[in-house]
Amino acid sequence: MAVGIKQRHPVAQAYARALMEVGFASGEAELYGDQLDALTEAVESEASFKVFLESPKIRRGDKKEALERALQGKVSDPVLNLVRILIDRNRQALIEDIAQAYREQIDEVAGRVNVTITSAVELSAGVTDALKAAIEKKLNKEVVSTELVDAGLLSGVTIQIGDLVVDGSLRTQLRKVRQEVSLTRFGKDLIDEN
């Protein structure tokens, strides 16, 4: 099984932690997470908004003014302040990473973990429940799972737990075999040439 880890930007982790602390102090931690998710979705789904937000040709003051008008009354002051700070420091491209880091940190505090189970064919409820139970036992956390089907896996499953990916798919196993055969043949060709 292949295992891969995707790292979040360390600055995104710090911003997420600071907002989470404010959220817990005010009792609105989940609300802030929802607002960050909505903001991220808006940035990702609207190309012109993303270009506006990340363009170096648009002055920071203009960006802040436009966002304040658009977000005032729709997001909490701490979330709006975070957006202002990101623009001031030219780090607005980190919004998605911050939102993901925020959710992960909130889940950590709540003792739950988000798991994405991707399989080549739809798994039965029994198999899914068994996988979730095994993960819960191993991590000693509540599992919130999302099940996906990707026929491109050919067979097997991949399980993503936060930034950790466990890949037990046939596609990956075949790729490894292909690489090993290529390396073995290449090495044999070098020996035969000498």
Instruction: Note the pLDDT tens digit of each residue in 59-97.
Output: 999 989 988 888 888 899 999 999 999 999 999 889 999
Which amino acid, 18? A
6-106 topology per CATH? Peroxidase; domain 1 (1.10.520)
What is the rounded CA–CA span in Å between residue 163 and residue 132?
A: 17
pTM of the model: 0.66
Residue 100 has pLDDT above 80, yes or no: yes
What is the rounded CA–CA span in Å between residue 92 and residue 99?
A: 12
Every domain of the chain and the residues it spans: 6-106, 111-169
Choose the most confident range, by mean pLDDT, from 16-20, 73-77, 141-145.
16-20
Which among 34, 164, 15, 162 is positioned nearest to 93, based on CA atoms? Answer: 15
Residue 191's pLDDT band, with cuts at 50, 70 and 90, is: low
**And the tokens for 36?**
């960050």
Residues 6+ apart with CB under 8 A from 88: 60, 64
- Which run of H or E residues covers position 152? none
Q: In the chain, pLDDT over 70 holds for what percent of residues?
A: 86
Phi, psi torsion values for 18, nearest 5 degrees: -65, -45
Which amino acid, 57? K
Tell me how far apart the 2 most distant CA atoms of the chain are, in Å: 75
- Tell me the sheet residues that pair with 117: 147, 159
Which among 143, 141, 79 is positioned nearest to 109, based on CA atoms? Answer: 141
Torsion of the alpha carbons at 103, 108, 109 and 111, rounded to the nearest 10 = 120
